[in-house]
């Protein structure tokens, strides 16, 4: 049964999602995209790759040649879909949206956010350049706080000197829009998404000062309403903190696996349709012509 959109759980997720996220800062005063050498998509959600492809084409239209970093190791969805990594799936979307193979770098060894940041640091230390991260709203705060905390150390260890600038393009999709089969967050009646959002605030608290900088409450004010919503969600949904799961979490994980197994065709079809829609937008905006796709099977 789907989570009802007028339920307390849904309202709490909207409250947390809209507060515990950062704003895009990758545009200048003329609303032109700040030029960076790298565009990074690092999420298990292909929306990140679609957004990165749009930025890539926007910058190439202006004569620049950015490189797209596709970042992420083996996650729940990539295990289910039998693909090498989250990064490989992101790269598949980028290629189908016109990003050339030689402008894509796959960084797929990381098993968590910290290891993903370490991989990015090593690559940028070897080939210096500023970077724009294309992130979903739900990942944006946790990733930005983690990057600010961990990147300087990893970068220095890799031999990097002057720190590059990091910018953020945050996708402003609603909760309703992001509960879909492209990212499989619609699994188990949208609960897969709710599990993820429920973990944002607890993880920020648990990792503050360790793996993340504390939340900057001037930029991200946290009201009692937000804290209350986060606490209610934490009591009902699976939290991934320190790799520990109790009986409730294992039951919820099992439900997610069953739902993914039942909806494999929907994931493939929705991914195919997302590519077609993005291609149509890219054609309208940049005049890019794409060859026909054979069918849903071409999309990882």
Instruction: Record the tokens describing residue 13, joined without a space.
Output: 């997720």
Instruction: Record the tokens describing residue 218, joined without a space.
Output: 């001037």
Residue 241 predicted with pLDDT over 70: no
Q: Cα(71)–Cα(86) distance, rounded to whole angstroms?
A: 7
Q: What is the pLDDT of residue 240?
A: 61
Say which DSSP state 244 is in. B
Query: Looking at residues 23-27, what average pLDDT do you find?
Result: 96
Q: What is the pLDDT of residue 257?
A: 84
pTM for this model (two decimals):
0.94
Q: Cα(226)–Cα(148) distance, rounded to whole angstroms?
A: 24
Identify any residues that bridge with 71 across adjacent strands, giving them in sequence order: 107
Which domains does the chain possess? 8-284 (3.40.50.620)
Query: E-strand spans in the chain?
Result: 38-41, 67-71, 104-107, 131-136, 166-171
CA angle 84, 190, 273 (to 5 degrees): 60
Instruction: Record the tokens describing residue 57, joined without a space.
Output: 């084409």
Residue 239 predicted with pLDDT over 90: no
* Residue 62 burial class via C-beta count within 10 angstroms: exposed 0-12, middle 13-18, buried 19 and up: exposed
- pLDDT tens, position by position, 129-151: 999 999 999 999 999 999 999 99
Query: Looking at residues 154-161, what average pLDDT do you find?
Result: 94
Spatial contact of 67 and 39, defined as CB atoms under 8 Å apart: yes
What percentage of the chain exceeds 90 in pLDDT?
Answer: 76
Q: What is the pLDDT of residue 233?
A: 95
Between 84 and 39, name the one with better pLDDT.
39
C-beta neighbour count of 263 within 10 angstroms: 18
């Amino acid at each position: 049964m789907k989570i009802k959109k007028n339920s307390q759980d849904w309202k709490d997720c909207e409250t947390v999602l809209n507060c515990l996220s950062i704003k895009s800062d990758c545009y200048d005063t003329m609303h032109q995209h700040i030029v960076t050498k790298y565009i990074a998509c690092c999420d298990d959600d292909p929306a990140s790759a679609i957004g990165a492809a749009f930025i890539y084409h926007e910058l190439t239209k202006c004569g620049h040649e950015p490189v797209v970093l596709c970042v992420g190791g083996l996650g729940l969805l990539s295990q289910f879909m039998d693909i090498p990594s989250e990064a490989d799936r992101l790269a598949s979307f980028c290629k189908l949206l016109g990003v050339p193979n030689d402008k894509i770098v796959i960084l797929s060894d990381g098993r968590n956010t910290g290891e993903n940041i370490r991989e990015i640091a090593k690559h940028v230390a070897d080939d210096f350049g500023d970077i724009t991260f294309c992130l979903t709203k739900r990942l944006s705060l946790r990733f930005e706080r983690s990057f600010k905390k961990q990147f300087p150390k990893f970068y220095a260890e890799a031999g990097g000197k002057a720190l590059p600038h990091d910018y953020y393009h945050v996708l402003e999709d609603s909760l309703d829009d992001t509960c879909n089969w492209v990212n499989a967050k619609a699994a188990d009646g949208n609960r897969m998404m709710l599990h993820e959002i429920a973990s944002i605030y607890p993880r920020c608290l648990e990792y503050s000062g360790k793996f993340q900088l504390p939340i900057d409450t001037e930029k991200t004010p946290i009201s009692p309403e937000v804290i209350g919503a986060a606490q209610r969600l934490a009591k009902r949904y699976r939290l991934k903190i320190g790799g520990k799961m109790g009986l409730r979490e294992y039951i919820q994980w099992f439900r997610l696996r069953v739902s993914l197994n039942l909806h494999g065709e929907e994931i493939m079809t929705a991914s195919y349709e997302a590519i077609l829609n993005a291609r149509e937008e890219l054609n309208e905006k940049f005049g890019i012509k794409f060859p026909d796709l054979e069918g849903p099977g071409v999309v990882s």
